[in-house]
């Protein structure tokens, strides 16, 4: 275990999952260095931690920098003054599958080269462990339901390819340089601070935003497509557990609830919780949309002792709250 005074690096720590991860680390007594270029993340997501500077007494230091350009220069001043990085949580990414299809080179630069930059820093600086945000997108349209980690990976987008390539590179560094790493394949993460502004954001943030505003919800297709929706606080707990556990040879683990919910069920739950009585309508199915997505969760339970705890109705109430 890291001592409570160790510095923990969280790339992408000003984002949705990242800021919940920082909250968890701070609650556990850690000092956290966030590297984020604020392209989708926000200072406001961390504002409850004060000035975001160790010198000003905050448990969080925010370093505004692009991970794809390397970590040595941005981290030099903070590590010289406050000690080395013990463990790293790499969440910074270009997060849109659609954007990755339109701009594959940006995706490679941020999501693949960015991971290699984190690995190069970890190798040189003696970081003990890296936890990495991978994605269920690595599986593509697999017919295996629930999907086990050993199912064939045939990603359908540059985003999925770059997540899988990053996993493989983590495994290579673990084998050749002894940098312990655990990639976590997140399923559909939801909760407070998720940004609903893009049409490609998580369906829950879009539905919640519209239901609160009294606007109708639109389901693409018949609504029978399923997802494994996992609450962000549970995901942050998994990420921290992976970062703090010693060892890890790059073997990936699914992070989901192991429970399947149809998009129609989801819409009805959200309308009921919002209490605004909005209508639910249907639009033509989106081309290429995956029909079923469900995580097999035995590996993470056995390895990290983690399982999701927040039931969907509770998590939705916290999200709408």
Ligand X SMILES: NC(=O)c1ccc[n+]([C@@H]2O[C@H](COP(=O)([O-])OP(=O)(O)OC[C@H]3O[C@@H](n4cnc5c(N)ncnc54)[C@H](O)[C@@H]3O)[C@@H](O)[C@H]2O)c1
Known catalytic residues are 159
Shortest Cβ 38–ligand X spacing (Å): 5
Residue 124 to residue 75: CA distance in whole angstroms? 13
The C-alpha atoms of residue 102 and residue 99 are separated, in whole angstroms, by: 5
b (16+ CB within 10 A) / e for 241-279 = bbbbbeebebbbbbbbbbbbbbbbebbebbbebbeeebe
Rounded CA-CA distance 138/159 in Å is 8
Q: CA-CA distances (angstroms) from residue 237 to 69, 131, 160, 173, 318?
A: 29, 12, 23, 25, 17
Residue 189 C-beta: closest distance to ligand X, Å: 3
Q: Are strands 261-262 and 226-227 parallel, antiparallel or unpaired?
A: antiparallel
**Do residues 67 and 119 make contact, with C-beta atoms less than 8 angstroms apart?**
no
Any idea what DSSP says for residue 221? S
Tokens representing 63 are 């370093």
Give 52 or 67: the residue with its C-beta nearer to ligand X: 67
Nearer to ligand X, 189 or 269 (CB): 189
Which one, 7 or 278, has the nearer CB to ligand X?
7
* Residues near ligand X, by CB under 6 A: 11-12, 14-18, 35-41, 66-68, 91-95, 110, 114, 133, 135, 186, 188-189, 202
Helix 312-320 to helix 263-274 angle (10° resolution) is 50
Separation CA 237–CA 249 (nearest Å): 20
**Pick 15 or 233: Cβ nearer ligand X:** 15
Structure tokens at 289: 């949309």
Q: Please, what is the minimum distance in Å from the beta carbon of residue 202 to ligand X?
A: 5
Nearer to ligand X, 112 or 278 (CB): 112
**Chain position carrying tokens 């199915």:** 285
Please, what is the minimum distance in Å from the beta carbon of residue 17 to ligand X? Answer: 3
DSSP state for residue 215 in the 8-state scheme: P
Strand partners, 295: 147
Q: Is 35 helix (H, G, I), strand (E, B) or coil?
A: strand
State the Cα–Cα distance between residues 7 and 166, nearest whole angstrom: 23
Q: How far is the CB of 260 from ligand X (least distance, A)?
A: 16
Distance in Å, CB of 57 to ligand X, minimum: 23
**CB nearer to ligand X: pick between 21 and 217:** 21
């Amino acid at each position: 275990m890291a001592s409570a005074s160790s510095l923990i690096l969280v790339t992408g720590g000003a984002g949705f999952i990242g800021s919940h991860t920082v909250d968890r680390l701070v609650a556990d007594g850690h000092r956290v260095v966030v590297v984020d270029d604020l392209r989708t993340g926000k200072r406001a997501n961390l504002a409850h931690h004060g000035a975001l500077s160790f010198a000003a007494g905050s448990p969080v230091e925010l370093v505004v920098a692009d991970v794809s350009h390397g970590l040595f220069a941005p981290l030099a001043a903070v590590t010289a003054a406050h000690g080395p990085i013990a463990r790293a949580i790499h969440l910074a990414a270009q997060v849109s599958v659609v954007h990755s299809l339109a701009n594959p080179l940006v995706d490679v630069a941020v999501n693949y080269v960015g991971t290699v930059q984190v690995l190069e820093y970890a190798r040189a600086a003696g970081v003990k462990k890296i936890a990495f945000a991978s994605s269920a997108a690595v599986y593509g349209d697999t017919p295996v339901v629930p999907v086990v980690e050993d199912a064939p990976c045939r990603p359908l987008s540059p985003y999925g390819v770059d997540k899988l390539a990053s996993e493989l590179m983590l495994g290579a560094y673990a084998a050749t340089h002894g940098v312990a790493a655990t990639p976590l394949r997140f399923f559909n993460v939801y909760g407070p601070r998720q940004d609903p502004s893009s049409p490609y954001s998580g369906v829950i943030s879009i539905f919640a935003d519209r239901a609160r505003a009294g606007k109708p919800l639109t389901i693409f297709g018949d609504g029978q497509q399923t997802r494994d929706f996992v609450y962000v606080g549970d995901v942050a707990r998994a990420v921290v557990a992976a970062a703090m556990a010693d060892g890890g040879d790059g073997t990936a683990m699914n992070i989901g609830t192991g429970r399947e919910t149809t998009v129609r069920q989801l819409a009805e739950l959200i309308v009921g919780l919002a209490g605004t009585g909005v209508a639910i309508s249907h639009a033509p199915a989106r081309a290429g949309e995956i029909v079923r997505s469900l995580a097999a969760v035995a590996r993470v339970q056995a390895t990290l002792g983690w399982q999701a705890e927040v039931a969907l109705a509770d998590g939705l109430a916290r999200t709408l709250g």
